[in-house]
Amino acid sequence: MKMVKSLLLGSAAGLVAVAGAQAADLPVKAKAVEYVKVCSAYGAGYFYIPGTDTCLKIGGYARFDAYANAVGTFRPDIATTAGTGFNGPGVGAFAFPFSDKDDSDILTRARGVFDMDARTQTDYGTLRSYVRFGGEWNSQAGAGSGPNNALYFERAFIQFAGFTFGYTQSFFDIGVNYMMTTPFAGSNTWTTLMAYTAQFGNGFSATISLEDGANRVTGVQGTTASGAAVGSIGPFGFNPFVTGTSGSLAYQNWQGGNAVPDIVANIRLDQAWGTAMLSGALHQVNTLDQFALFPGASSSDQWGWAIGGALVLNADMIAKGDSFLLQASYSKGAISYAGMGGNSQGTATAWGKVDIDAAGNLSGAYVPLADAVVDAFGGYNLSTAWGIMGQFRHYWTPGIRSVLFGGYTKYEPGATTAIAVTDADLWQVGTDLVWSPVKNLDLGLEVVYSKVSSDVPLQQVGATSIIGGSTDIWSGGIRAQRNF
């Protein structure tokens, strides 16, 4: 009996195991697949991130640039912001402002950029986050260093209930540019900031912003008895080789550390006809004690300021897509707000280009730039700068467009008793032609003429400095860009 019972129980266990194994092999009803859905609330290109109520748009571009007498983003070789253009790979290479035959006339770059725009509707309005980044390959990174790869970073910010936090366009700027180059006249700077924008309806708004001054600091020009620049005079004239900084001309920077962010405000009107904006900024100029340059030295500060205005006028009555851009600014102790550097991520500390031959003969211009200049008595005075710029974009056909551009910038140093300072002007005119044979593909050519002139001829100052002069340069290049 026990034997029969054992056999029955064993058989039952076996049947259960087999049945379980067969059940595990049976198909199970899968969960419904959640397909990506179009989000039309914010315009074309957005879709819902599966499983969320957040809409996302992904874009970017692939770009090839080739420059002549210019560096990244078509910046002319006429300021410290074009340093790579003055650092040739040959023997005896030296830096800005000196130019000779070992400097490259042509540079190339390839860049790939991605951007992501995520938006979610909340009880407080739209919550938005935006990121734009990528990478690039440059044919030359500096003297003797050859080509290099680099990361590229342009935007990372959050917007919520009128607030903006992150790295983005300064609220002093209109944020419009039709050229491939960034003009020297007119501010177009990216920075980290915290801002609040109030919307009053009918396109009218006002913004107050606290902005990091790192991309706005030009420096404080200190002077010594021997002059502001670095170099030496040899038997054949100025000898840039006998220096400790590869022949660079540069003033001693008496800039103290930033203690207060820039305070920026604007009022803006956006309408069907275009955009009008007035803006202002306060910028701290912190200066070290001229007679105590050591760790722990004291400092003092003044406040620089700037005002600006910009106007964008749609001109569809001429041709669809046509537009005028006008921008003007005036600054005292905050010269970056007048443009000055042709760069969105940094400032220029000097203008010019000095050609040198084998005998040490010099021709060209060198003009140091600074928010303030220390005088011979240890005090300092704020410099002034102003600029005006205009652009007209015209569509000859829906697939062919061009821009006509002109700009002027004036710089006046703050001290009249300091060594190696001079007033200076920078003129720019340019044009481009862009063909879009298919949607989102641009093939362009751009040419820019830039001229720097100072109030004094190029001359030796003290034992180790040069200052003044005038120079000009033709620059530009070609671009192929596919947006997606």
Q: What is the pLDDT of residues 69-90, one digit of tens each?
A: 998 889 999 998 888 888 777 6
Compare 223 and 387 and report the one with higher pLDDT. Answer: 387
What pLDDT sits at residue 83? 81
pLDDT tens digits for range 109-131: 999 999 999 999 999 999 999 99
Q: Residues 56-67: pLDDT tens digits?
A: 999 999 999 999
Sign of CA dihedral 48, 49, 55, 61: negative
In tens, the pLDDT along 436-480 reads 999 999 999 999 999 999 999 988 776 557 889 999 999 999 999
Strand, helix or coil at 101?
Answer: coil
Please say if the pLDDT value at position 265 is more than 50.
Answer: yes
CATH number of 79-102+153-483: 2.40.160
Q: Where are the domains of the chain?
A: 79-102+153-483
Select the more confidently predicted residue: 11 or 155: 155
Which H/E stretch holds residue 22?
Answer: helix 2-25
**Alpha-carbon gap, residue 78 to 359, rounded angstroms:** 23
Local confidence band at 237 (pLDDT 50, 70, 90 cut-offs): very low
- Single out the residue of 172, 77, 78, 85 nearest to residue 369, CA to CA: 78
pLDDT score at 202: 95
Element (H, E) at 441: strand 441-454
Q: What is the rounded CA–CA span in Å between residue 343 and residue 385?
A: 16
Q: Tell me which of 173 and 230 has the higher pLDDT.
A: 173
Neighbours of 269 (CB within 10 A): 16
Three-class secondary structure of residue 479 per DSSP: strand
pLDDT at 251: 62
Q: Structure pTM?
A: 0.85
* Nearest of 336, 30, 58 to residue 190 by alpha carbon: 336
Question: pLDDT at position 240, please?
Answer: 43
3-class state of residue 162 by DSSP: coil
